[in-house]
A and B are shown apart, each in its own frame.
Chain A
Amino acid sequence: MYLAWKEIRHSKGRFFFMMVIISLLAYLVFFVSGLASGLAKDNASSIENLGKHTFILQKDADQRINRSALSSETVSKLSSTFGKDKVTVLNLQSTTVNRVGKQQKIDLTLFNLDGSQSFRPSLTAGNEPSPQTTTDIIIDQSIKRNGIHLYDTIKEQSSGLTFKVTGFTKNATFSHMPVAYLNQRQWHLFTEKRKVSGQKAVHAAVTTPFSLKKTRQLADRIHLNQNISEVSADTVIRALPGYKEEQSSLQMMISFLFIISVFILGIFFYMITAQKQAQFGILKAIGTSTGYLVRSLIFQTLITLFVSLGFSLLLTVLTVFVLPPGMPFSLSPNVIIERLLAFTGISLLSILLSIWQIIKISALSAIEGR
């Protein structure tokens, strides 16, 4: 691509200017993407951890797991139909705690997973509590932001129970709250203490490793006193309070950045192509094929784009280093590749008009007086 390269070298200024603009746009895209998945993780990583499972919720809960209440009867019927080793009962309760001796209230969510396939969070600090303990718990490490340290004692406010934090885990959050994992005895104690008279024990959800389709087939055979709905972990996550709003506003920003990039790249290449109409006419007249000229344009576009993307990725990496530790930011290779492909796609889209310009330039314009 002799011609394309020579032009970039000769018009360094305008191409550099373009690269700076596209770099900044791409940097924003990466940054907002990182923020979006960071917030998603911060919001719902405890459910993401169960991503391969299908959830069975109360139908009236509108797919909201925190509203769902399955009766013990429902749970036991499901468990006998699916097989005891194929179901996990999920109990959860959002609540407030305070560090013993301190007034400051901290929001967190208590999780209790009951089943043979139940998920065990991995520890980042501290020790695994013994299975029968009534006092020791592990909590997501984000609670450190609220001044809770390893081996601190916290008091759950609705039951008055106190627990000792013996371990931290990561990626265990629910609705932006840290999750504390309770074992069966602890959960039992908790519900006993809280119980309002006459209230039956309820469970938030039943999860199973079966596919959504299989789960539906099995569940349809059971006669239950309450209506249930089967949904994927993704659906549960999207129904979490605030999740959709958070994500859709960030996704909208990303879309707009892409649209802006299409226009900027498109206009830039449209203008430089328009300036070169006469030149392209001459080149065609002396035997340069239209294909060569179109390939030159594509080459210039991709060079501009790839240099910009490289630079923006570098900026993103630098940003990750200077971000404060509590900042929800997460950028997986998959997301990066997806965005890179999107940029490549839209850049080719943006030069369609310029390609059309090149195709329709007539070699005849080289001859004087036309």
Chain B
Amino acid sequence: MHPILSFDHVFKSYKDGDTTLDVLKDIDFSIDKGEFIGLVGPSGAGKSTLLSLAGALLTPSQGQIRLNGKPMAAMTPKEQTALRLESIGFIFQSAHLVPYLNVQEQLIFVSRQLGLPNASAHEKAKALLEKIGLEHRIRHYPSQLSGGERQRVAIARAMINNPDLILADEPTASLDFSRARTIIQWLNSEVKEHEKAALMVTHDSRMLQFCDRVIRLEDGMCTS
């Protein structure tokens, strides 16, 4: 049985003129099915870099990253894009919704790219929006939503493709505590129920109580 995501002695460094900046050093961990992992560390520690590596947006300088046992480095950029569409759900710090799609269209767009017929794409979007309490907003455009609502739509968008791996970079930064807690609890239950894996960067220590494990990054190295 493979873990969903595994980092195998991963290094990442940026070349900046003559000097190289070692952002991540010897990162080694794995996330199993049903695990919800928190990622913390001071700013500049390399958390976003780690997330980008996990999402095949960056390639490691050294070491191997596997998703469901498959090494990502062996894939073509096209295959990596398809992988993100099919198996990964990204949640960013701000919602980054498409301004000219209404709430349900944000989700239908992803489903359509996966080849779902229109009717079932509609149904799926409606069911998911009901779950996160946005069914009364389905025809609203992003500009008509509050910050918190937008972020919830973004989370729904990340979940609509039923991803194996959820990568979230400070997803609750724009939500108040009670909303944040509801959403994270829901994410957690999704992970548990459907045997997904999640890696969430957060600055809010109150959110760590919902995590099964916490990875601490300091100076580019894992400390726990």
Interface residue ranges, A against B (CB under 8 Å): 2-3, 6-7, 9-11, 278-279, 282-290, 292, 362-364, 366-370
CB-based contact B90/A285 at 8 Å:
yes
Across the interface, A6 reaches (CB within 8 A) one of B52, B94, B105, namely B105
Given contacts A366-B96, A369-B48, contact A6 B101 (CB under 8 A): yes
CB-based contact B52/A288 at 8 Å:
no
With a cutoff of 8 Å between Cβ atoms, the chain A residues found around residue B57 in the complex are: 285, 362-364, 366-367
Give min CB distance, B204 to chain A, whole Å. 16
Q: A3-B101, A289-B82 are in contact. List 17 more A-B contacts (CB 8 A).
A: A2-B109, A6-B100, A9-B100, A10-B141, A11-B100, A282-B98, A283-B98, A285-B84, A286-B85, A287-B81, A287-B85, A366-B90, A366-B96, A367-B48, A367-B169, A368-B94, A370-B48
CB-based contact B157/A286 at 8 Å:
yes
Bound CA span A364–B58, Å: 8
**Could you tell me how many residues of chain B have their Cβ less than 8 Å away from some Cβ of chain A?**
35
CB-based contact A367/B96 at 8 Å:
no
Indicate with 1 or 0, residue by residue over B145-162, a CB within 8 angstroms of chain A CB atoms.
000000000000110010
Bound CA span A367–B23, Å: 16
Bound CA span A290–B161, Å: 19
Given contacts A6-B100, A367-B57, A368-B48, contact A289 B90 (CB under 8 A): no
CB-based contact B170/A368 at 8 Å:
yes
Interface residue ranges, B against A (CB under 8 Å): 48, 51-52, 55, 57-58, 78, 81-86, 88, 90, 92-94, 96, 98-101, 105, 108-110, 112-113, 141, 157-158, 161, 169-170
Give min CB distance, B45 to chain A, whole Å. 12
Across the interface, B52 reaches (CB within 8 A) one of A2, A11, A364, namely A364
CB-based contact B92/A368 at 8 Å:
yes
Give min CB distance, B89 to chain A, whole Å. 8
CB-based contact B52/A287 at 8 Å:
no
Give min CB distance, B88 to chain A, whole Å. 7
Give min CB distance, A53 to chain B, whole Å. 59
CB-based contact B98/A279 at 8 Å:
yes
Pick 17 A–B contacts, CB within 8 A, sort by A: A2-B108, A3-B98, A3-B101, A9-B100, A10-B99, A10-B100, A279-B96, A279-B99, A282-B92, A282-B96, A286-B85, A286-B110, A288-B85, A289-B78, A290-B81, A367-B169, A368-B93
Bound CA span A10–B157, Å: 20
Bound CA span A279–B94, Å: 12
With a cutoff of 8 Å between Cβ atoms, the chain B residues found around residue A11 in the complex are: 100
With a cutoff of 8 Å between Cβ atoms, the chain B residues found around residue A2 in the complex are: 108-109, 112
CB-based contact A287/B92 at 8 Å:
no
Bound CA span A163–B65, Å: 99
Across the interface, B113 reaches (CB within 8 A) one of A6, A288, A367, namely A288
Bound CA span A37–B97, Å: 52
Residue of A nearest to B89 (CB): A286
Bound CA span A278–B52, Å: 16
Bound CA span A10–B141, Å: 10
CB-based contact A287/B86 at 8 Å:
yes
With a cutoff of 8 Å between Cβ atoms, the chain A residues found around residue B83 in the complex are: 287
With a cutoff of 8 Å between Cβ atoms, the chain B residues found around residue A6 in the complex are: 100-101, 105
With a cutoff of 8 Å between Cβ atoms, the chain A residues found around residue B109 in the complex are: 2-3
CB-based contact B51/A367 at 8 Å:
yes
Residue of A nearest to B98 (CB): A279
Residue of A nearest to B81 (CB): A289
Bound CA span A367–B94, Å: 10
With a cutoff of 8 Å between Cβ atoms, the chain B residues found around residue A369 in the complex are: 48
CB-based contact B78/A278 at 8 Å:
no
With a cutoff of 8 Å between Cβ atoms, the chain A residues found around residue B170 in the complex are: 368
Across the interface, A366 reaches (CB within 8 A) one of B92, B98, B100, namely B92
With a cutoff of 8 Å between Cβ atoms, the chain B residues found around residue A370 in the complex are: 48
Bound CA span A11–B58, Å: 34
CB-based contact A285/B113 at 8 Å:
no
Give min CB distance, A35 to chain B, whole Å. 41
With a cutoff of 8 Å between Cβ atoms, the chain A residues found around residue B105 in the complex are: 6
Across the interface, A292 reaches (CB within 8 A) one of B52, B98, B113, B169, namely B113
Across the interface, A287 reaches (CB within 8 A) one of B98, B113, B141, namely B113
With a cutoff of 8 Å between Cβ atoms, the chain A residues found around residue B113 in the complex are: 287-288, 292
CB-based contact A284/B81 at 8 Å:
yes
Residue of B nearest to A11 (CB): B100
Bound CA span A367–B92, Å: 7
Across the interface, B82 reaches (CB within 8 A) one of A9, A279, A287, namely A287
Residue of B nearest to A288 (CB): B113
- A-B pairs, top 5 by smallest CB distance, nearest first, are A287-B85, A10-B100, A287-B84, A282-B96, A368-B93
With a cutoff of 8 Å between Cβ atoms, the chain A residues found around residue B141 in the complex are: 10
Bound CA span A279–B157, Å: 14
Bound CA span A212–B113, Å: 60
Bound CA span A50–B157, Å: 70
Residue of B nearest to A370 (CB): B48
CB-based contact A278/B100 at 8 Å:
no
Bound CA span A368–B168, Å: 11
Across the interface, B158 reaches (CB within 8 A) one of A10, A286, A289, A290, namely A286
Give min CB distance, A365 to chain B, whole Å. 10
With a cutoff of 8 Å between Cβ atoms, the chain A residues found around residue B88 in the complex are: 287
Give min CB distance, B119 to chain A, whole Å. 15
Give min CB distance, B1 to chain A, whole Å. 26
